[in-house]
Chains A and B, each alone.
Chain A
Amino acid sequence: MNDMTPFATTLKDWETDQEVRWCPGCGDYAILKAVQRTLPQLGANPANTVFISGIGCSSRFPYYMESYGFHTIHGRAPAIATGVKLANPDLDIWLVTGDGDGLSIGGNHLMHVLRRNVNMQIMLFNNEIYGLTKGQYSPTSREGTKSPTTPLGSYDHPARPAAFALGAGARFVARGFDVSKKLPEVLMAAHAHQGAAFVEIFQNCVVYNKDVFDDFAQPKGAEDRQLWLENGQPMLFAGGTQGIALDRHLLRPMVVSVENGDWEAAGVLVHDVSNRTVAHMLVEMPFGPFPMALGVLYDDPRPTFEAAVAQERAQSSAGKEPDLARLLSKGQTWTVGDNAADPVSTRPPGQGAPNADEPLT
């Protein structure tokens, strides 16, 4: 995000007059509300905010946000957003994509927007299925997913969005899920990060992949299955009775029991969002033997792409007069005729005859 003067809005100000067309019960509704709840807290100005999306259920998102919005083509939103940001770095850009849009057809662009570190918030709605095309398995579907194209169960190895993002060079990686009360908090952290901020949001597709995240997302027993990370805090879950420690022999995480709240004695790690090594461990930590790592997994800013582009342009332009006439007559030239008009002037194009008075603007 950018430093902006806080702008007073309410949730209502971010709602459009358009009828929302997601299926009843879709997790997208919850995410939409979370975003509309977050933006007023950020003091965001709707006129400076741009939602850019690709194709898919999630990508209808911009139509429901009372800001600027661009619903683009399948997989290409990161490239379009990059152009928008380079042309006007003052805009606050939210990218909305899904597991198919962002990791399948658009995997290349997602990789490069992260690698370049273009300053924007990237929300990847992961529902592990293609919804808008009626339920085919997606690059994040678990092995064995039965779908119209995999009637006997899929055999593709699923991609892990957070691991992909970190591997691509992301400097901010977070996780949340649609109905989580903590989602606005995660989004605010993403917004505070200067650079490409990647947020994987588990989202429930009630029609084609219903409750696929219930194993960790359902409220009952959530405490035992969710590890909410906080910078500077020990990695504890299950009401503080369990934690994540490092098996120093095997160099891998392990779940340890915490007796009487003495997590230090149990060797529980303290979360440091700037520790890239630990971040790699967290994004790869398999759910099942481990709880699902949620919240801000990694946050360590680096200079942004658009700043570098602007800086280079400023440097290479320094002290140079953008004189088009001079540019055209660059190189080795020759003159024909004694009275040839000198086309080299300092006039801007299209503004009057040689030696004319300064044009009024």
Chain B
Amino acid sequence: MATDPLTLEDADTPRDAARSSDRASNPASNPEAVVVRFAGDSGDGMQLTGGQFTLSTALAGNDLATFPDFPAEIRAPQGTLFGVSAFQINFGSTAIETAGDAPDVLVAMNPAALKTNLAALKPGGLIIADTGEFTKRNLEKAKYTVNPLEDGGLDKWQVLAFDISAQTVEAVKPFGLGNKDALRCKNMWTLGLALWMFDRPRGPIHDWLNAKFKTRPELAAANIAALDAGHAYGETAELAGPLRQVHVDAVASAPGLYRTITGAEAVSLGLVAGAQLAHLPMFFGGYPITPASSILHHLARLKEFGVTTFQAEDEIAAICASIGASYAGSLGVTSSSGPGIALKTEAMGLAIMTELPLVIVNSQRGGPSTGLPTKTEQSDLYQAVYGRNGDAPLPVIAARSPGDAFDCAIEACRIAVEYMTPVMLLTDGYIANAAEPWQVPDPASYTAFPATFLEQKNDGDNLLPYKRDGKGARPWIRPGTPGLMHRIGGIEKAVDTGHIDYSPSNHQAMTDARKAKIDGIAVPDQDVCLGETRGTLAVVGWGSTFGPIHQAVRRARARGMDVSHVHVRHIWPLPANLGDLLRGFDNVLVPEMNTGQFKTVLRDQYLVDARPLTKTSGQPFQIAELEAAIAKYFDGIAGNEGGEVDANLQQLPTPESGHDDGSLRPQFKSPQSEYDA
């Protein structure tokens, strides 16, 4: 078993007890799920390779999840450890909800890619390495003293090392490319090999290459030749090497039309749908920031949907212009990531005070300050829920996956328009960049929530711009409407009239009204997405931790543990039944990629003894880590629960890509830390 990486001894696929017993009968060439990681230099096109492999995988009908990981630098010095860019995909014939724990196959395009990703590979896994890049110079850059392909250090894995560079150059020779251009086809050669390995058609990639290089047909032809050569190599090498073809069956999915989608695409489409459901033009003000920029890129191409995009001079101007647009009757939307959201904070207060609709998308990344621009974290929850001056409540919604981001964006638009309030939508770097298959929804299946504008005075001969409806929302009054001239602003306003008023009872009344409006937002009741509604342990998550939590709970339940998975979408206001639901469990464990922020909110709101399980290494949770944490509630050892998950050598991003050797341990622990390692 250990010699065949594709028997998936420890595969992180969902499987219940029945399936588990089937496993032995699963032929090695027909596994349930496979994890492949492509790693190379930033300039090697690994993200592109991964993206196209994802597409072909989706077209083959497999379920899948991906994890792109790339350096914050655009082109880090070639061949260096910190310049490695990687793309992991987990695909299979059962539901896949995480990008996979440890890869079965590692494609290493240079020594640095091998070094930074080797620790992750399963024992017995397959390494495909390009010997053409294992030069003395590249070995030195990767801090190898001897060539790892030659010194026997890779014995616990299977190695398929050959000169991909030379093979590629040979394959594209007829097209008269220079050496540099020829070598740039390497990723397509590798993709061709991977397509052969997993029995995938090349047609869609041919089409894509032809479209991509429409204006330079010689490049299209060369890339196609490289792809075909890689594919042909697989067929030949099969006779002699460790390489063999495997077939992963298509997953049983609900009937319908599917496509792959990233979180950034889903947010963009959801915003377009939301604006349409509100019957409003959309105004999107943005400022470039990783990983949020792609939303602006997508929307800039969707102008026919009544979308106006505005690249502002800074984050503050981006949100302010969006507020201005909302004031004028459009649906204002802005988007950023932590540091940019921090800059927008004062303007959020203005939108809260003037009670204008606004959607703020926060694609979270590691912080504080610039932090980890390309890595994922969930550490902006306090900022979203609490982070403004004054009593400034606003609704917060968190998407759990790329596909879910579509529905969450619509929900954010609905609440903004119906309640005249800014709404924050939280995603993160993982959701924004990762792709998953998505069943294309029918827009007609969503209920419209048309915006209404006040057209005449609402109190006899008087206009009351702050007169509230049954939901606590004030009327939306567009400038340009005859007879409804009025003034609004960030300064405290009198009840109903909106005139300047600092008087004590008025501020009390308006503060209460703003809070009551948000508290009263109709939020669906919280469901339990796996398990019973009461019992020993509830694992409560939010955002992109959905996949690993769900799989870990599924496995724990298969082993007989009384554990349930609760995943919260509405972070603020919380679902009305959540307190009672949590109190029905003996224990509440909250895994999150921060130091315990949602745990604080739950304790604050419900006085429940929610325990944190935290991870701030810029890596998503592994299923195994969560399984271990769950098991502690069932080992009979009191006080063994919760804790902190350390950085993980198996996962992306890998430690060496950031100059550390993975041996760092926290030197200082907060005296408030409730858990001791």
| Residues on A facing B (Cβ under 8 Å) | 16, 18, 46-48, 50, 52, 62-63, 65-73, 76, 78-88, 90-91, 108-109, 111-112, 309, 312-313, 316-317, 320-322, 324-325, 327-345, 347-354
Contacts and interface: CB of A to CB of B under 8 A. Distances in A.
Contacts of B88: none
14 contacts: A47-B484, A63-B489, A70-B488, A73-B346, A108-B313, A109-B316, A313-B303, A317-B303, A332-B58, A333-B259, A336-B253, A337-B256, A340-B256, A342-B257
Interface of B: 55, 58-59, 61, 204, 208, 253-260, 269, 272-273, 276-277, 281, 283, 285, 301-308, 310, 312-314, 316-318, 320-330, 332, 346-347, 349-350, 354, 440-444, 446-449, 478-491, 499-500
A316 B487 contact: no
B328 A327 contact: no
Contact of B489 (A71, A321, A325): A71
A79 B440 contact: no
A97 B244 CA distance: 72
Contacts of A339: 255
B486 A68 contact: yes
A317 B346 CA distance: 35
Contacts, number: 246
B500 A18 contact: yes
A312 B442 CA distance: 29
Contacts of A351: 444, 448
A3 B238 CA distance: 76
A87 B328 contact: yes
Contacts of A313: 303, 307-308
B443 A325 contact: yes
B256 A71 contact: no
A296 to B, nearest CB: 27
B485 A67 contact: yes
A53 B259 CA distance: 47
B443 A347 contact: yes
A82 B321 contact: yes
Which 7 A-B pairs rank lowest in CB-CB distance, beginning with the nearest? A337-B255, A83-B324, A71-B489, A350-B448, A83-B321, A79-B320, A69-B487
Given A50-B479, A70-B487, A350-B444, A331 B304 contact: no
Contacts of A327: 269, 272, 302, 305
Contact of B310 (A73, A86, A331): A86
Contact of A88 (B304, B329, B449): B329
Nearest to B443: A349
B255 A68 contact: no
B347 A88 contact: no
Contact of A343 (B322, B326, B441): B441
A327 B273 CA distance: 10
B58 to A, nearest CB: 7
A16 B441 CA distance: 51
Contacts of B480: 47-48, 68, 88, 90-91
B444 A349 contact: yes
A328 B443 contact: yes
B488 to A, nearest CB: 6
Given A80-B324, A325-B443, 6 more contacts: A52-B324, A71-B487, A71-B490, A83-B324, A328-B441, A332-B208
A62 B489 contact: yes
Nearest to A317: B304
A13 to B, nearest CB: 10
A72 B58 CA distance: 49
Given A309-B308, A328-B269, A81 B257 contact: no
Contacts of B349: 73
- Most chain A beta-carbon neighbours within 10 Å: one of B327, B350, B446, B491: B327
B481 A47 contact: yes
Contacts of B276: 324, 348-349
Given A71-B489, A87-B328, A327-B305, A340 B312 contact: no
Contacts of B307: 313
A352 B446 CA distance: 10
Contact of B281 (A46, A62, A87, A111): A87
Contacts of B442: 325, 341, 343, 345, 354
B316 A79 contact: yes
A324 to B, nearest CB: 4
A72 B328 CA distance: 14
A85 B551 CA distance: 50
A336 B283 contact: no
Contact of B328 (A91, A332, A340, A342): A91
Given A71-B490, A343-B440, A347-B443, A82 B317 contact: yes
Contacts of B269: 327-328
Contact of A82 (B310, B448, B489): B310
Contacts of A112: 312-313, 317
B304 A321 contact: yes
B490 A72 contact: yes
A185 B232 CA distance: 80
B440 A336 contact: no
B214 to A, nearest CB: 17
Nearest to A333: B259
Contacts of B325: 83-84, 86-87
A50 B269 CA distance: 33
Contacts of B273: 324, 328, 349
A267 B308 CA distance: 52
Residue in A16, A18, A68 with the greatest tally of chain B CB atoms within 10 Å: A68
Contact of B257 (A62, A70, A333): A333
B305 A68 contact: no
Contact of A76 (B257, B347, B441): B347
Contacts of A108: 313-314, 317
Contact of B487 (A16, A48, A90, A333): A16
Contacts of A84: 324-325, 327-328, 479
B305 A322 contact: yes
Nearest to A342: B257
A338 B255 CA distance: 8
Most buried by A among B346, B347, B444, B479: B479
Contacts of B283: 83, 86-87
B168 to A, nearest CB: 25
Contact of A329 (B257, B305, B486, B488): B257
A71 B307 CA distance: 26
Nearest to A52: B324
Contacts of B484: 47
A234 to B, nearest CB: 40
A62 B322 contact: no
A329 B259 contact: yes
Instruction: Tell which of B58, B204, B322, B324 has the most Cβ of chain A within 10 Å.
Output: B324
Nearest to B282: A87
B304 A320 contact: yes
A91 B326 CA distance: 14
Nearest to A325: B443
Contacts of B256: 335-337, 340-341, 343
B258 A336 contact: yes
Contacts of A52: 324
Contact of A109 (B302, B313, B448): B313
Nearest to A46: B485
Contact of A86 (B272, B308, B350, B500): B308
A165 B310 CA distance: 22
B54 to A, nearest CB: 11
A63 B487 contact: yes
Contacts of A321: 304
Nearest to B285: A83
Contacts of A333: 257-259, 440
Nearest to A331: B259
B308 A354 contact: no
A268 to B, nearest CB: 41
Contact of B491 (A71, A78, A322): A71
A88 B328 contact: yes
Nearest to B478: A88
A333 B446 CA distance: 22
A324 B317 CA distance: 29
